[in-house]
């Protein structure tokens, strides 16, 4: 599957981006840049997970994602939550209600680091692009 962005065809990523039906979607990157914005709200804010996944600590800017909320979900990856039965984690879901919002941080990642985030979080999730309260477009992982 090829991805077409602004009339250009490019090779697909290892894990193709699956776009959700969310009215606030916008193109984040056509893959030609060196920086990708990712909105983090949970486990990717944990220093141990950052070091394990990206090999470095991430520094982000506070932002808010409107019309979404966090629900309980299940994780198939033991790294996604502290040891507990069924490895529970918070899953982001679109509600469409502007009163709902999720607080988090926007981090800047290289395309390779975004691929690493995909490998870590794509089980039970999908990556979509959203517009944050600040007006910035960013990738975010939502429940599948």
Judging by DSSP bridges, how do beta strands 101-109 and 125-131 pair with one another? unpaired
More confident residue, 63 or 79: 63
Please report, for the chain, the start and end positions of each structural domain, with discontinuous segments joined by +: 39-143
- According to the model, what pLDDT value does residue 81 have? 45
Q: What is the rounded average pLDDT of the residues 49-67?
A: 96
| Residue 55 to residues 37, 94, 103, 109, 113, Cα–Cα distance (Å) | 18, 31, 25, 12, 9
The residues pairing with 105 across neighbouring beta strands, listed in sequence order, are: 40, 62
Q: What is the CATH number of domain 39-143?
A: 3.10.490.10
What are the start-end ranges of the E strands in 7-76?
8-10, 36-40, 61-66, 68-74
Secondary structure (3-state) at 51: helix
Query: Is there a contact between 29 and 36 (Cβ–Cβ < 8 Å)?
Result: yes
Identify the bridge partners of residue 130 per DSSP, sorted by sequence position.
Answer: 138
pTM passes above 0.95: no
- Looking at residue 84, its pLDDT comes to 43
Sequence-distant (≥ 6) Cβ neighbours of residue 116 within 8 angstroms: 53, 54
Residue 66 CB: number of other CB atoms within 10 A?
Answer: 17
Residues 64 and 103: beta-carbon distance below 8 Å: yes
Q: Which residue has the higher pLDDT, 128 or 80?
A: 128
């Amino acid at each position: 599957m090829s991805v077409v962005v602004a009339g250009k065809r490019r090779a697909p990523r290892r894990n193709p981006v699956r776009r959700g039906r969310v009215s606030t979607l916008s193109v984040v990157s056509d893959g030609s840049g060196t920086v990708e914005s990712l909105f983090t709200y949970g486990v990717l804010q944990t220093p141990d997970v950052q070091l394990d996944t990206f090999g470095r600590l991430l520094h982000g800017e506070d932002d808010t994602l409107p019309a979404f909320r966090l629900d309980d979900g299940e994780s198939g990856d033991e790294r996604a939550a502290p040891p507990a039965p069924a490895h529970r984690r918070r899953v982001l879901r679109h509600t469409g209600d502007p009163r709902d919002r999720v607080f988090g941080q926007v981090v800047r990642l290289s395309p390779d680091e975004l691929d690493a985030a995909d490998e870590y979080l794509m089980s039970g999730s999908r990556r979509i692009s959203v517009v944050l309260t600040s007006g910035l477009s960013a990738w975010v992982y939502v429940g599948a």
